Amino acid sequence: MTRISVKVDGTTYQDEVEPRLLLIHYLRDRLGLTGTPIGCDTSNCGACTVDLDGESVKSCSVLAVQTDGGEVTTVQGLAHNGELTGLQRAFHERHALQCGYCTPGMIMAARDLLRENPHPTSDEVRHALEGNLCRCTGYQNIVRAVLSAAEASEQGVRA
């Protein structure tokens, strides 16, 4: 067992974990944060995307021990006092989901894009989301939602 200290969604946790424990299983099974789904277990689909120290990562390809001393934000940690972020609202308002399984990963990857490029083009959004698969939609509404959130943040709405 290895001792880790990691801040997840604003709360610091100190735990003993097996060195082989994946971050996705730590989040879901140890911390009960089930908003991040297990998609493929091979890092191909992006459903399990979270923010680790300011970067989007697929939590099925990161070991929990690699987060020691770090900070993780899941899709559950985005809303403040129950108020959705502009990006989350845009996904809802633009109908950017069907089954919703990919949505947490899409939102986290889009959040990373908007942090780096607050005014992306449609092509830039598509490129940024390439590592996230959706089996239900044609991605049109997802791209529209990201562009809508970018536009709203230009107008002072928190993305």
Report the share of the chain in percent with pLDDT over 70.
Answer: 96
User: Which residues are paired to 155 by β-bridges?
Assistant: none
Supply the pLDDT for residue 4. 98
Q: Is the pLDDT of residue 159 over 70?
A: no
Query: What mean pLDDT comes out for the span 7-27?
Result: 98
Report the share of the chain in percent with pLDDT over 90.
Answer: 84
Tens-place pLDDT, residues 22-74 = 999 999 999 999 999 999 888 899 999 999 999 999 999 999 999 999 999 99
Backbone angles phi, psi at 72, to 5 degrees: -115, 135
Q: Is the pLDDT of residue 138 over 90?
A: no
- Number of Cβ within a 10 Å radius of residue 109: 23
Supply the pLDDT for residue 158. 54
Tell me the pLDDT band of 137, cut-offs 50, 70 and 90.
Answer: confident
Tell me the pLDDT band of 120, cut-offs 50, 70 and 90.
Answer: very high
Q: How far apart are CA 56 and CA 50, in angstroms?
A: 6
Strand ranges for 59-150 from DSSP E: 71-73
Which run of H or of E encompasses 123? helix 122-128
Tell me the pLDDT band of 157, cut-offs 50, 70 and 90.
Answer: low
Q: Is the pLDDT of residue 156 over 70?
A: no
